[in-house]
Amino acid sequence: MPDSASLVTDPFARFREWMTEAWTHEPDDANAMTLATATPDGTPSARIVLLKGADARGFVFYTNMQSRKGEELAANTRAALLFHWKPLGRQVRIEGRVEHVTDAEADAYYASRPRISRLGAWASDQSRVLPERAELERRLAMYELKYPDDDIPRPPNWSGFRIVPDRFEFWQSMPFRLHDRTVYTKPANGGWALGKLFP
């Protein structure tokens, strides 16, 4: 495969190209990404979340702010993302600082979710101990009665985070494990610096 990454000086443009190709090969979950967070003392954790917005400002996902990831991001506002598209032999690693989305952004995305997902955001104390599945189902039924129509407000503890990148790595599988790795880093004076890494 020709090394075209070096011709693209904007990592967001490069990401859009790769994401567009990924959707043609993984239509069910091309936007699945590993989110890595850490506590202030450095204890790491990782999980798969779904990318719900990507532009020049950063990469957005939504969650219960009182979940483990929400609490870790509140305490340590650095995070990493990893996209892996096996059919294409590609990975994208992203590192950066974390900020909250606006209330308007969170409201708009929440309103776009299926009704049961919106009710589930009220019913679930995400990451907390659940004594038995029946408790979640009971709480879901309670909120179905509380909000019988489609007008379901966004829970105050449910919103989104934006990862604002300062580093990208685009990894392309190559024969004999001589992979191509292109890195973009953000100098203090702005813009993006582009370089290569040994495989």
What number of residues does the chain have? 199
Catalytic member of 93, 97, 177, 181:
177
Residues 11, 164, 161, 67: what is their CA dihedral angle, to the nearest 10 degrees? 100
Note whether 182 and 196 are within 8 A (CB).
Answer: yes
Note whether 166 and 186 are within 8 A (CB).
Answer: yes
Annotated active-site residue 177? The verdict is: yes
Q: Tokens at residue 41, please?
A: 């003392």
Helix (H) / strand (E) containing 24: helix 11-25
Catalytic residue set:
177
